[in-house]
Structure 1
Amino acid sequence: MSSKTRSKNKVKSSEPPSLIPSLPEDIIVDILARVGRCYYPKLSLVSKHFRSLVTSHELYSRRLLLGCTEHCLYVVLCNRENYKNHCYVLCRKANGNHSLVLIPSFSNYMPRKGKGGFVAVGSRIYVFGRLNATSIDCRSQTVHLLPSMNVTMSVSVADIIDGKIYVSGCCNNQRKMVMTVFNTETQMWEPKKTAPETLMSDCMWPGDCVVLAGKMYMQDDINSFVFEPKESKWETEKTLNMFRWKDECVVDDVLYYYDCVWEVLRAYDPKESGWLVVNGLEELLAQARFSDWSYTGSYGRKLVLFFWKMTGKTRVIRCAEISLERRQEKEIWGKSEWCDDVLVGGDFFVRKSLDVIV
């Protein structure tokens, strides 16, 4: 054997062997469960075995037992050119900045056109369109078809109370709202509900919808309404109707939305039955001053604000994460944790953001 061959073999033998593949399966799962989920896409490239592990039920069960679950923000973007919906996830890049990453497999199950209803329940995203209803498991990245809705309607909004998803829309192209209920435990539909005629305006079309303290707050083109599910009771809400809130979110049973007219972040507290302006965000909100669109979402008890900006002729979606603090009974302060360009190019806007636990 030549000296060169011996030296090569010596170098190869001096390289430390890979230890993880030789470990027992349960130890590998235990290690991966402690790794941040943002690294799972890269881990899936290591081998077919790892690709299988990062989507396995065993891994996420272990994450739950170890208390390593995370809040992850999924975002449904709508393309203004064709009004098709696409699913993205907010990821943190190696340099610390954030970006929206397309999930093609999920996008295939988004409603092709129209608003649709989207709800996050634990690790699942429920999607309701005019004809189909689906459930997407964000852990295993699998999709399940749900039973067909018991009423045909143009779905506008959906939200969840006590394990039941309330899906609202207009039936048979009429300007009247219909609501149907999907039980996530039984995976079955319950009888539809219709708002009383005395509450409906002539142009009632369900707009935005939120859940505060076990009640559903909704608005049509003119008024705001409150639905009490236990008593199946509808009421008008005059205080909430002071502002035309839209693209809103809820954090700790308080409604938040960005008022682009007055350039402030407003908050509605149902306990106080009044509106507040969130303090401390003047510098951040100045960046959204010239945006003709904005959206507020929430995940992990924090608020995210999306808005447009122009870089030359390129449209950019910018996102800021905001932590909230209640300093006094009627005083809320916000602090911008970060603000990044998360999507460059295209003509998109946020249809819905979803707080998923994985």
Structure 2
Amino acid sequence: MSSKASSNVMAMDCRSHTWCEAPSMHVAREFHSVCVFDGKIYVTGADENLDSTNWMGVFDTNTRTWEYLQIPGKELCRASQLESVWYKGTLYVRSEKKNVTYKLHKGRWRKVDYAMNYGWGRSSSYCVIENVFYHNFGTTIYWFDSQKKSWQILKGLDSLCKSLCNKSAKYLVDYGGKIAVLWQDYVSHKFPRETSIWCAEIAIEKRENGEIWGMLEWVDIVFTTDKPSSLVHALATTV
């Protein structure tokens, strides 16, 4: 998420680990949020030159062209601190500042119910895996029960919850149908202080009674540095 408006776009080739320029957005954006679905990249963000007709840009990775998707009016057009996600084939956009979430349903934007918006608003990180929405709050991972319209605890992760206690910058990501959790930990508080990035891999088990359990399969340090740094985002790619 950037605080400086820009229309520039860079693409990374995960095979060669090299960056190249991609077609620029038609307008500069700031405080943007990005999500991906069905070969298209949805970039949500606002600056003083945007309105409801060009507030969201959609990049088609096949044609390498940009188009606009109209967004609901006043509540989101000037809102910062935005989040977006595809869940159950529907685009959701949330404004932390306005404390409201909209979803695109049959071509029209509608507000979501209180439970969905409230739970998402409490999260420090989230991901969607096989049409289930997961989010992290404190030391606990929750999933959204769309039938009961309530957030449930992802059970079976007591040992991991203890490891996450008092750790900052926790991020969830879909890792091939499993949840990968990344967080940072300071080895010492002396300067330059050494920072470690941890990763845990969680398998998901859907049970007949409707419950979803997590099984911790692996956890370890994946990166260590003594240079000033912080974990800001996590993304899984398929090569």
What's the TM-score, normalizing by structure 2?
Answer: 0.83
Shift of 1:172: 2.6
**C-alpha distance in structure 1 between counterparts of 2:107 and 2:95, whole Å:** 21
Task: State the alpha-carbon separation in 2 of the partners of residues 205 and 247 from structure 1.
Answer: 17
User: In terms of mean alpha carbon deviation, does 229-238 or 295-304 score higher?
Assistant: 229-238
Displacement of 1:271 in angstroms is 4.8
State the shift of 1:154 in Å: 0.7
Deviations 1:123-179 (A, max 9, x none): xxxxxx823112222124454422221122115211123322211011238898921
Q: 1:192 to 1:332 in 2, by over 3 A?
A: closer
- Say whether 1:187 aligns with 2:68: no
Deviations 1:64-107 (A, max 9, x none): xxxxxxxxxxxxxxxxxxxxxxxxxxxxxxxxxxxxxxxxxxxx
Quote the offset at 1:329 in angstroms.
4.3
Tell me how far apart the structure 2 counterparts of residues 185 and 148 of structure 1 sit (CA, whole Å): 15
Which residue in 1 is equivalent to 2:164?
A: 288
- Indicate conservation of the 8 Å contact 1:257/1:295, yes or no: no
- Structure with larger RCO (C-alpha < 8 A, sep 6+): 1
Equivalent position of 2:231 in the other structure: 350
Greater shift in the superposed pair: 282-291 or 312-321: 312-321
Deviation at 1:340, TM superposition (A): 0.7
In structure 2, the CA distance between the partners of 1:311 and 1:301, relative to structure 1 (3 Å rule), is: same
| 8 A contact 1:319–1:339 mirrored in 2 | yes
**Superposition map of 1:1-358 within 5 A:** 114=2, 130-172=6-48, 178-197=55-74, 200=75, 204-221=79-96, 222-228=98-104, 231-243=107-119, 244-260=122-138, 263-313=139-189, 314-345=194-225, 346-358=227-239
CA RMSD of aligned residues (A): 2.8
Q: What residue identity is the alignment partner of 1:179? A: M
**CA deviation profile, 1:283-317 (whole Å, cap 9, x unmatched):** 11101112133111121101111223332333322
1:265: Cα distance to partner?
1.0
- Read off the aligned partner of 2:85 and give its amino acid letter: V
CA, structure 1 residues 290+321, in 2 after alignment: closer, same or farther (shift >3 Å)?
same
Asked if the contact 1:226–1:234 (Cα under 8 Å) also holds between the matched residues in 2, the reply is yes
Which structure has the bigger radius of gyration?
A: 1
Give the 3 Å change call, closer, same or farther, for CA 202–267 of structure 1 in structure 2.
same
Q: Distance in 2 between matches of 1:218 and 1:246?
A: 16
Q: Structure 2: which 5+ runs fail to align?
A: none
One-letter amino acid matched to 2:134: Y
Preserved contact between residue 71 and residue 109 of structure 2 (Cα < 8 Å) = no
Q: How many residues align?
A: 230
Q: Supply the distance in 1 between the matched residues of 2:69 and 2:104 (Cα, whole angstroms).
A: 15
Counting aligned pairs with the same residue, the percent is: 27
Q: Which runs of 5+ in 1 are unaligned?
A: 1-112, 117-128
Q: Higher helix proportion, which one?
A: 1
187-196 vs 136-145, which deviates more? Answer: 136-145
| Amino acid in the other structure paired with 1:300 | G
Q: In 2 relative to 1, CA 141–295 (structure 1 residues): closer, same or farther, beyond 3 Å?
A: closer
**Stretches of 4+ aligned residues off by more than 6 angstroms:** 173-177
After TM superposition, give the deviation of residue 188 of structure 1 in Å. 0.7
